[in-house]
Amino acid sequence: MFSQCVRQVRGYATKSKATNRKMTARVPLEHTSLSNGNVFVARQPVVSLEVQATAPAIHRPHERKPELNETQINEIRQLRQQDPETWTRKKLADKFNCSPLFISMVASSPSRQATPPVTESSEKGYRRQLITKNRQKRRELW
C-alpha cells in the first residue's frame, strides 16, 4: 500500500516556458480544415522540388569492387600461408583490388607456433624478478 502512495518530487529546475525563442524553424505550413472541425497542419518543403532535383548529391555513389573467383581466392590463401610477413592483408588487398577485411575473412593468418611452457623462473613477472635480485644483492652486502 505504501509504495502506491509515494510521490515523485523533482529536485531540479524544469525547462523554461518562455515563448521568445530565437531559434525557431521557419517552415511554410499549410492548414487544412477537416470535416469534423479539426485542423490538419502539413509542413511544406523549404526548397522547391525543382531546385532539389538539380542539387548535387551529398554522398558519392558507392563503387562496387569486382567479385573474386575461386582461383583468385585460392591464390590469396596460398600466398598468405607461404609468407605472411611479405603478403600482408594490405598488400593482398591492393593486389586483388578488395578490402583488407575481406582478406582476413578469406585467408586468416597462419597460426603461430605454440609458446614454450612456462618455467618456474619466468613464472614471476619482471618486477618481481627485479625485487628478488635486489634483495639477494642486499643480503650479499651484509
Tell me what the mean pLDDT of segment 116-127 comes to: 69
The dihedrals phi and psi of 39, each to the nearest 5 degrees, come to -115, 125
End-to-end CA distance of the chain: 76
Separation CA 113–CA 117 (nearest Å): 12
The dihedrals phi and psi of 137, each to the nearest 5 degrees, come to -65, -40
The total of other beta-carbon atoms located within 10 Å of residue 74's CB is 13
For the stretch 72-97, pLDDT in tens is: 999 999 999 998 889 999 999 999 99
* Closest residue by Cα to residue 95 from 76, 108, 77, 81: 76
* Closest residue by Cα to residue 44 from 33, 31, 58: 31
**What's the predicted TM-score (pTM) here?**
0.40
